[in-house]
Structure 1
Amino acid sequence: MDNMRQYREAIQKIYGKNDYWIVPIFRSLFSMFLLFSLNRYLGMTGKTGNPLVILVLGLLSFFLPFSFVPCLAGLYLLYYFYTKSLLLLGIGGLFFVLIFIIQSSVRGKYAILIAAMPLCFFLGIPYFLPLLVGLSMGLSAVLSLSLGILVYYFLQFIREYKEQFILSGDLLDQFEGLSKKMAPLLHNKEMIGMFVLFTLAALAIYIIRNFSFNYSWIIALITGICVEGLVFFVLPFLSVKMNIGLSLLSYLFSILFSVIALFFFRDADYRGTEFVQFEDDAYYYYVKAIPKNKA
């Protein structure tokens, strides 16, 4: 454990000294990987499927803030929708405008979660991000996380039913059956179950970790893990088919990653807890001091 703490301290020092170039490089690589994953997931062809386009857009994000990455991905998707169907473009445009309006009501720095959540689904570790959000981010990040869940299931809907938006060449005919086309998305029980449980898990961790009792962060993480574990009971109850083996493996990997994240964010030695009191001309101060574990 002491060796791990030494590695952690070394990583933190390297990042502290070189974050001015590590962050832009990470942002650029993240954008490229996100766009490549969208490309593969939706089976894009033509200009949108050109690796050179993904490379150029990824390099562009090197100079832009993290909050622009979801906008970049949205524009990329809208162009793909345009190449397939005007109706698909209209539906995608309205959906993304709604997401933008909701996200604009909170802090923009968490907008990256709108892109990161679908990427976690693509990578098969969707359980991890709600745990990380609860451990390391603010309350408004939960909203961005929830929007990211909706974006993933919207993309899943487009992937499965996009042919229904392409077959008819008459735009009026397509609009007439729009409600029937959108029914699978609006009645998606898996989306509702995952949305509720993941949001509750992130909220539970955030609320509990902000209490001052000993081991609050550990208890918060355990609570979030248990809430996410309800997926294995709720989805079958809703008659949703799921691959138990793969889902359980994803769940266990997410727990492992979240424990590592907790080690980086909150490695405290509660045995050395002290209570300190002091005052100035205006206030009395009662401070609870918890030392960090050192190598």
Structure 2
Amino acid sequence: MIGNKIGYQTNLTKLPILLMAALLCSIMPSNFMVLVSAGFILAHLYKLSIQCAVVGLIMFLLMFLLYFRFSPKDTLAVMLTPMCFYLSIPYVMPIALGLLGSPASIISMAFGVIVAFFVNYISDNATTLTGAEIEDSATQFQSIISELMNNKRMWVFVAAFAITVAVVYLIRRMAVDHAWTIAIIAGALTDIICLLVGDMMYTTQLSFIGVIVQSIIAILLLMILQFFAFNLDYTRIEKVQFEDDEYYYYVKAVPKVTVSTPAPKVKKISGSNAGRDYRGKDRGE
């Protein structure tokens, strides 16, 4: 995906190089994927413009300092957020992180959003960044920083996604029936409302129909995620009450959905019976 979006360093888009990088990522710790992806992006940006590479380097250094400090286990959040933007299903990520992650996942997801918008900006303005219109390097560097920091649409997405993660996380931890389903729907509605409010305040030119359609797609995908990660049978709820020297305990147990397998039937043949049959055949009986 990086090569398709900003594949300026053609040597890094060749299949053997990609396979070698994939092999390394498969055997190294999960955070190694983030470092490899950052290295690929910086290499492509350096081929385009050294100023773009410097801005990207600063962004990744800040990301690593905060990411490895607060949410080092959220590798998938950093990786999948730009990928979901590339696949036009970005609204999956904040709800999924609210279901499977923690509030600290907001940091990783926010950097994923920033990386997605930064790469998209570089891809859309490659001609301008390499052309003769901006001859002064300092001016070009300042222009890239200004475009990134003043991108109101990007910050609206960061804020909306952060609020969505918090709402989904709070709801899915409630001791109510179908908590995950309620959290998914509430998260999608929260995301839509936040994006539309941000669009009205800052004129981000979001498509209302597009937001609705992509949110519905996100809900369907998250229902599939719920089936594999949190599939409960609410028809067999059990409530237990017990006590110790200091507390009374009221426990609500909701069993997981399981597929019952039939018990195997084993026919036991004793060795003595088998021996008699064998000897009987020798005597012609």
TM-score, with length taken from structure 1: 0.78
1:266 aligns with 2:230: yes
Aligned to 1:209: 172
State the secondary structure of the residue aligned to 1:230: helix
Verify the 8 A CA contact 1:165 1:174 in the aligned structure 2.
no
Once the two structures are superposed, the pairs formed by residues 122-271 of structure 1 within 5 Å of their partners are 122-167=86-131, 173-230=136-193, 233-234=196-197, 236-237=199-200, 238-271=202-235
Verify the 8 A CA contact 2:196 2:208 in the aligned structure 1.
no
Q: Cα deviation per residue 1:165-220 (whole Å; 9 max; x = unaligned)?
A: 4336998x211353334322222121122111112111111111112233322222
Q: Distance in 2 between matches of 1:180 and 1:135?
A: 38
Verify the 8 A CA contact 2:233 2:256 in the aligned structure 1.
yes
- Cα offset for 1:45? 4.4
Verify the 8 A CA contact 1:277 1:287 in the aligned structure 2.
yes
Aligned to 2:85: 121
Taking only the aligned residue pairs, the percentage that are identical comes to 26
Aligned to 1:66: 30
Verify the 8 A CA contact 1:44 1:80 in the aligned structure 2.
yes
Once the two structures are superposed, the pairs formed by residues 271-282 of structure 1 within 5 Å of their partners are 271-280=235-244
- The amino acid across from 1:156 in the alignment is N
Q: Distance in 2 between matches of 1:202 and 1:68?
A: 25
- The amino acid across from 2:156 in the alignment is G
Which is further off, 41-50 or 230-239? 230-239
Q: Cα deviation per residue 1:22-53 (whole Å; 9 max; x = unaligned)?
A: xxxxxxxxxxxxxxx11111243421222322
- Cα offset for 1:60? 1.5
- The amino acid across from 1:226 in the alignment is L
- Cα offset for 1:243? 4.5
Which is further off, 116-125 or 152-161? 152-161
Residues 1:124 and 1:231: Cα distance change in structure 2 (over 3 Å): farther
- The amino acid across from 1:180 in the alignment is S
TM-score, with length taken from structure 2: 0.81
Structure (1 or 2) with the greater helix fraction: 1
State the secondary structure of the residue aligned to 2:70: coil
Larger radius of gyration, structure 1 or 2? 2
* CA RMSD of superposed structures (Å): 2.5
Which is further off, 234-243 or 91-100? 234-243
- Cα offset for 1:77? 1.0
Once the two structures are superposed, the pairs formed by residues 25-40 of structure 1 within 5 Å of their partners are 37-40=1-4
Structure 2: where are the runs of 5+ without partners?
260-285
Verify the 8 A CA contact 2:95 2:184 in the aligned structure 1.
yes
- The amino acid across from 1:193 in the alignment is V
Verify the 8 A CA contact 2:78 2:109 in the aligned structure 1.
yes
State the secondary structure of the residue aligned to 2:242: strand
Aligned to 1:46: 10
